[in-house]
Chain A
Amino acid sequence: DQQVKQNSPSLSVQEGRISILNCDYTNSMFDYFLWYKKYPAEGPTFLISISSIKDKNEDGRFTVFLNKSAKHLSLHIVPSQPGDSAVYFCAASPMGGGNKLTFGTGTQLKVEL
């Protein structure tokens, strides 16, 4: 039972354009969401998060949007850069520090010159 789904295994975008990565979830108990970025042979690194009391959180080139009614979130990267090429994982947990994360299967982003 995949509670967090990333239906696009890969995405290719030109440098300077917008990258949009999508994530859907099914568990209504999730109310904290995170995006992690992973390079080959490295552990995932935290990128940005959002609590369910918000519908948008922005940090530099990265913005996460949350649509609770649709149980959908997205990560926007503007402008995309070649260094953004990595696997992006969406993760979710119930509110509160220290809870285990449920991850999606990841989207491989390739930013082309």
Chain B
Amino acid sequence: GAGVSQSPSNKVTEKGKDVELRCDPISGHTALYWYRQRLGQGLEFLIYFQGNSAPDKSGLPSDRFSAERTGESVSTLTIQRTQQEDSAVYLCASSLWGSGTNEQFFGPGTRLTVL
């Protein structure tokens, strides 16, 4: 079966522009996560969706960041007025709620470069 997919794989943008990143989770996975990895750093949690519950936005670094998810499918992460410090690889993951483990399946990521 298909894994988690993300698009675009690479995005170069100018400072101040808005960008939208897309994630398609594994079919049937009810939980969806966004992380980012800056150069030389570990993965940093951004936001988490679970079913129809209110998302956990506790990791979003500023109000320029927002994310939406349609039901239990596609999610988009939007960064408004991008800054150079937003440059990172943005990773999406999904998992099966109630599986008893926290195993999350990751997509290949979107590499964002803000010039």
Contact = CB atoms under 8 A, between A and B. Distances in A.
Interface of A: 4, 6, 32, 34, 36, 41-46, 49, 89, 91, 93, 96-106
B65 interface: no
Contacts of B97: 97-98
A97 B106 contact: no
Contacts of B109: 42-43
B42 A100 contact: no
A44 to B, nearest CB: 5
18 contacts: A6-B42, A34-B103, A43-B4, A43-B106, A43-B107, A45-B106, A46-B103, A49-B102, A97-B97, A98-B98, A100-B33, A100-B45, A100-B56, A101-B35, A101-B43, A101-B102, A105-B42, A106-B42
Report, as a range, how many residues of chain B touch the other chain: 20 to 34
B87 interface: no
A97 B102 contact: yes
B42 A4 contact: yes
A38 B70 CA distance: 29
B61 interface: no
B40 interface: yes
